[in-house]
Amino acid sequence: MSTEIKYDQTNEVKLTDSSQEQMENLPKSSELESSGCHSKLNKEKSIKSINGNNKLLDKFKKDYPLGPHDKPQSMCPAFGSLRVGLRMRRVATILSGSACCVYGLTFVSHFYGARRSVGYVPFSSETLVSGKLFEDIRDSVHKTADPSKYDAIIVTNLCVPTASGVPLRLLPNEINGVRIIGIDVPGFGVPTHAEAKDVLAGAMLNYARKEAEKGPVSTPLSGKSDRPTVALLGEMFPADPIGIGGILSHLGLAAGPVVPCREWRELYGALDCSLVSAIHPFYTASIREFEEAGRAILGSAPVGSEGTEDWIQSVGEIFNIKKDIISKCKNEIIPKINEGLKLHKIKGTITLSGYEGSELLVARLLIESGAKIPYVGTACPKTKWSEKDKEWLESKGTMVKFRASLEDDCAAVEAIKPNLAIGTTPVVQKGKELGIPSLYFTNLISARPLMGIAGAGSLAQVVNAAMKNKKRMADMKSFFSGVGREDTSGIWEKSPNLKPQFREHNLKKIEKRKKAAKAAEMI
């Protein structure tokens, strides 16, 4: 006779009851927190014991300060640096990390359109501990370094090799004329994939800057402008650099390369600029390299009417352009933006959150389009280059949350109950559970121009269409009512076998743990 327990028989299964004495004898929360590979105590110990990587982690702590959560809440951060490398011409990528991590990263990268293979150096406990893993990485790099195919090879350490101190810094700087760029992108040091893009961009700028300091370097394939250029820092919709270039042309300037770049020689062009526009203000490592090259940095971006006007004024003053030329540029651009905003109005309350880094810029554009934005959450950190946008938004009554957690974003949606929730997948899910129309930031908002004339009114169609779905969301909520949620979700022939005493005991443990942590903070 079969002893198999089927799905809808779970309510009939007799659970082993624990006595109060057994419950009390369970390990205390403090003991649990100090044991296991994921414990805070052991994590700190392991990080402190990293062989030769203490400086690296100190640098990460300074460049990418942690927020209320000490680990990524979105995707693996290495996805960001991986995407940057896979987009570049004549650049190979090699990953060193756990097989499951590499599989996940390559799967997602190809899902997002990558058409290039990713190299992988596997390891075992033996190769990791003995140092053989580094030798395997070095051999892989030597085999890959074909100057007819590649200008550079990017080697990325994921969490385990970084924590074990695999020294990519000992790799040769170049092999057969092919540049070797070694970076560490651990989840415990780089909080978001957006910042991981900066890790790689900064490393490549550092290499290119040192090359340029030694002597003449190759001109980018796109050529060199005869006008002073403004490099653009941060990933943007492809139409945005063109739009920014159109604005700059009225000032006698030109748009330089966008960093992260699409080919190695563009790095030289970016470093050759006269000004860097930090469209994404959290590219700390990249900004440091530009400052080392003696370049001025400008925060914010030409977004909306007020943002564009302020940006034009700042650029003009930095380049000492005559006031009449600056005014002429404004008179040519600003009325067209105002017209676009007027024709594409947005009415309604919207909460906005994401991890791309452009959340504050999108909020500015939505507000100038007529929307009310009480809350903006970004997973990226606050820097001095984001100060302008923060101050502008706060002057409009918007609460700006840097290093916002998923809990922050979901709580905002629940408390405000907006006409539309824009955010990450969990936020969209939360909105739909509440019957609130929701849009995924990355695919539906980032995939549109934001800057200058093209940006004015670009969001209205998708936002207004989504807000009209209120009835549909209510119908869906009604349709799925009664199916349960969380551990009771689904349709059951009989009631699920719940054990409330276990829940109560666990809640007490959690509460006790919180009180202990609070007491420790006070001490």
> Is the per-residue pLDDT at 38 higher than 50?
no
In tens, the pLDDT along 290-328 reads: 999 999 999 999 999 999 999 999 999 999 999 999 999
> Is the per-residue pLDDT at 31 higher than 60?
no
* Whole-number pLDDT of residue 51: 52
Residues 6+ apart with CB under 8 A from 65: 381, 403
Assess whether 308 and 349 both reside in one domain. Answer: no
Assess whether 61 and 109 both reside in one domain. Answer: yes
Q: Where does a domain end: 311, 337, 363?
A: 337
Assess whether 376 and 430 both reside in one domain. Answer: yes
> Is the per-residue pLDDT at 189 higher than 70?
yes
What per-residue string of b and e applies to 153-167 under the rule 16 or more CB within 10 Å gives b?
bbbbbbbbbbbbbbb
Assess whether 310 and 397 both reside in one domain. Answer: no
The domain of 349 spans: 344-479
Assess whether 297 and 387 both reside in one domain. Answer: no
Assess whether 274 and 354 both reside in one domain. Answer: no
Total domains in the chain come to 3
Residue 509 lies inside a defined structural domain of this protein: no
* Whole-number pLDDT of residue 141: 97
Assess whether 355 and 288 both reside in one domain. Answer: no
* Whole-number pLDDT of residue 277: 97
> Is the per-residue pLDDT at 17 higher than 70?
no
Assess whether 78 and 179 both reside in one domain. Answer: yes
> Is the per-residue pLDDT at 29 higher than 50?
no
Cα end-to-end distance, the chain, whole Å: 61
DSSP state of 381: P
Assess whether 386 and 458 both reside in one domain. Answer: yes
CATH of residue 468: 3.40.50.1980
Q: Which of 4-18, 233-247, 253-267, 365-379 is least confident?
A: 4-18
In tens, the pLDDT along 216-229 reads: 888 888 778 899 99
Residues 6+ apart with CB under 8 A from 419: 348, 349, 350, 436, 437, 467, 470
Give the residue-averaged pLDDT of 217-244: 91
> For residue 438, which of 470, 416, 460 has the smallest C-alpha distance?
470
Q: What is the mean pLDDT of the chain?
A: 87
* Whole-number pLDDT of residue 464: 94
* Whole-number pLDDT of residue 34: 44
Q: Where does a domain end: 280, 308, 337?
A: 337
> Is the per-residue pLDDT at 378 higher than 70?
yes
Assess whether 127 and 152 both reside in one domain. Answer: yes
> Is the per-residue pLDDT at 162 higher than 70?
yes
Assess whether 79 and 94 both reside in one domain. Answer: yes
Assess whether 367 and 326 both reside in one domain. Answer: no
> Is the per-residue pLDDT at 28 higher than 60?
no
Residue 168 lies inside a defined structural domain of this protein: yes
> Is the per-residue pLDDT at 482 higher than 70?
no
Residue 421 lies inside a defined structural domain of this protein: yes
Is the four-CA dihedral 506, 507, 512, 515 of positive or negative sign? positive
